[in-house]
């Protein structure tokens, strides 16, 4: 999964693209598990995904009303459709992706 910066996110949203934005912090153990799940997802589906270390973008936490990490935003045509904090399992994530982005 590619690391994104502020410009990547702004372009992604401005161009009304669909995909996932994953927010994490490097010292978060749950984030490490979630990252591995998303690596599996990346191998299974062709979807645009980017990850961002929330420590470097605290203003985005406010903009997207992020309450904790890990956080996964489902974006459809430039609009956040769902914010997910509990990743559960790879099959669970695949179902969410199919619902919003298939």
Reported as a pLDDT band with limits 50, 70 and 90, residue 67 is very high
Residues 48 and 56: their CA atoms lie apart, in Å, by 21
pTM above 0.75, yes or no: yes
Q: Is the pLDDT of residue 72 over 80?
A: yes
Segment 39-66, tens digit of pLDDT: 999 999 999 999 999 999 999 999 999 9
pLDDT per position as a tens digit, 23-36:
999 999 999 999 99
Q: In this structure, which CATH number among 3.40.50.2300, 3.40.30.10, 1.10.3720.10, 3.30.70.100 belongs to the domain 2-101?
A: 3.40.30.10
Question: Mean pLDDT in the chain?
Answer: 96
Domain ranges of the chain: 2-101
Distance CA 64, CA 71 (A): 10
* 101 has a pLDDT exceeding 90: no
């Amino acid at each position: 999964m590619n690391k994104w910066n502020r410009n990547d996110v702004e372009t992604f949203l401005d161009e009304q693209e669909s995909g996932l934005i994953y927010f994490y912090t490097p010292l978060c153990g749950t984030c490490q598990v979630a990252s591995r799940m998303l690596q599996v997802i990346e191998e299974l589906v062709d979807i645009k995904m980017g990850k961002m270390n929330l420590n470097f973008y605290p203003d985005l936490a406010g903009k997207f009303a992020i309450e904790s990490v890990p956080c996964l935003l489902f974006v459809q045509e430039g609009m956040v459709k769902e914010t997910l904090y509990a990743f559960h399992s790879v099959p669970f994530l695949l179902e969410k992706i199919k619902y919003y982005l298939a």
